[in-house]
A and B are shown apart, each in its own frame.
Chain A
Amino acid sequence: MLELRGVTAGYGRTKVLHDVSIQVDDGGAVAAMGHNGAGKTTLLRVAVGLLPVMRGQVLLDGEDVTRLRPSARVRRGLGYVPQGQLSFPQMTTLENLHLVTTDRAAIDEVLDTFPALRGLLSRRAGLLSGGQRQQLSIARTLLTRPRMLILDEPTEGIQPNVVAEIEAVITELTRRGDLSVLLVEQHVGFALRATQSYYVIESGRITSHGVGGPGAVDDVRAAMAV
């Protein structure tokens, strides 16, 4: 589905990623974990196309999309939830969703997942609380009906019971097999439950890679402690 081959990338002169390769299979779910500043967000930005590569390739469905703009990748089925509770602050919650689609049924469906948003539809996104914005951000991306979903710390700032809800949604979607997931997450337990394999990334390099599931918690913790 999504593959990064030997990607080196960074900001200005500083390289952040060094020759990183990862792969997400069709219908597969992969977690990327690592410390603060390890380069996880950078990795996702490269995958989405917000950051150009210095070297290497990005492949979507086996096709080289390294030169495609993010919007073109999104039209090919990529969905991205960025870190940092981003929204279009001066548009209402509903308008934020309408940017993607005005289909009532589809909107209703995601609102069932995030019922808190229902009461906030006419409030401007810039006025929402951090967690509300993060929920909106995920909902908005789900509306694009991605085949490949990229999530950057989606549970940051979200209340525990909604985190559980999000976990359920992701698990449900991947189980159906029509969605692949690349997840960056600090909650190791959550990440491993929602995915089937993991990468640990340290200082811009992949240091460990393995099969996920709750049993891998110790392996991951060990890998990250190095």
Chain B
Amino acid sequence: MSIQTRTPDELGQDYLEIRGLTVDFDGFKAVKGVDLTLLQGRLHFLIGPNGAGKTTVVDAVTGLVRGTGLASYRNQDLLTMRSHQIVRAGIGRTFQTATVFEELSVLQNLDIAGGVHRRAWGMVLARRGVPAYVEHALEAIGLTELRDKPAGTLAHGQKQWLEIGMLLVQDAKVMLLDEPVAGMSAEEREETGELLRRIGQERTIVVIEHDMDFVRNYADVVTVMHTGTVLAEGSVAEIQANPQVQEVYLGRQVEAAATTEVEEGDHA
């Protein structure tokens, strides 16, 4: 792939750069000096054992926990900004346990997600019709039929789609997705993967995931974290072949199963 050979600067300003990110919880360092460069147009996957610090990295970048080091996007240092400012800077995220506004309808959820780009005065005006970008997002996430249902009544997986839809409406340039396909069936994973691929063209997307099949099918770049540090980075094949990664994360069974057909069909 050609983009991989270009340096970030050649791509203009659109990349998220993390340098020496450290998060300290009263003495326990959950993240220790992580360096990541996340480029536009690539599906970037973040994997690693439970408790490796993946979510914490995202938390730090989105202002939910305090981190030290550098996280810059378009020349702004995210670590010094507050959550809502970070969102306004174009960085959106989803949560490991889906959180949507339960009493509002799907449509309203999407609509208020677009509020960042409205003027304050526009806030006191009523909504007239459905804005085109909301329609698009609805279609993209396949919830058009459920648009008037309260979001609280959606199933787990549907809520996750809705969250992605809200990021689309927000027009987030960087999307940090924490286990977006957890609990989805194989086909749904596929749909989600395709969706991410489609919208990933002009965005920077980071996905945290444990489902190796999903990673195999959609990852452009994989970063493996372990005990707060980056253990390895590379293509899926490289990662799977890495003995350290096998040891702490994939396990021997997967290694063995990777060769059998049954396992391949597991999530397909």
Contacts and interface: CB of A to CB of B under 8 A. Distances in A.
A–B contact (CB under 8 angstroms): yes
Interface of A: 11, 14, 33-38, 41, 83-85, 116, 120, 127-132, 134-135, 153, 156-164, 186-190, 214, 217, 221, 224-225
B263 A189 contact: yes
Interface in B143-171: 153-158
Interface string B186-215: 111000000000000000000000101000
A11 B186 contact: no
Contacts of A217: 262, 265
Contact of B188 (A11, A35, A131, A214): A35
Contacts of B244: none
A156 B157 CA distance: 12
A116 B188 contact: no
Contact of B50 (A37, A162, A214, A224): A162
A159 B249 contact: yes
Contacts, number: 114
Interface residues of B, number: 40
Contact of A189 (B52, B154, B155, B265): B265
Contacts of B212: 160
B85 interface: no
A131 B157 contact: no
Contacts of A41: 155-156
A35 B266 contact: no
Contacts of B178: 130
Nearest to A40: B155
A154 B212 CA distance: 16
Nearest to B47: A159
B185 A224 contact: yes
B224 to A, nearest CB: 11
Among B48, B51, B249, max chain A CB count under 10 A is at B51
B188 A153 contact: no
B254 A186 contact: no
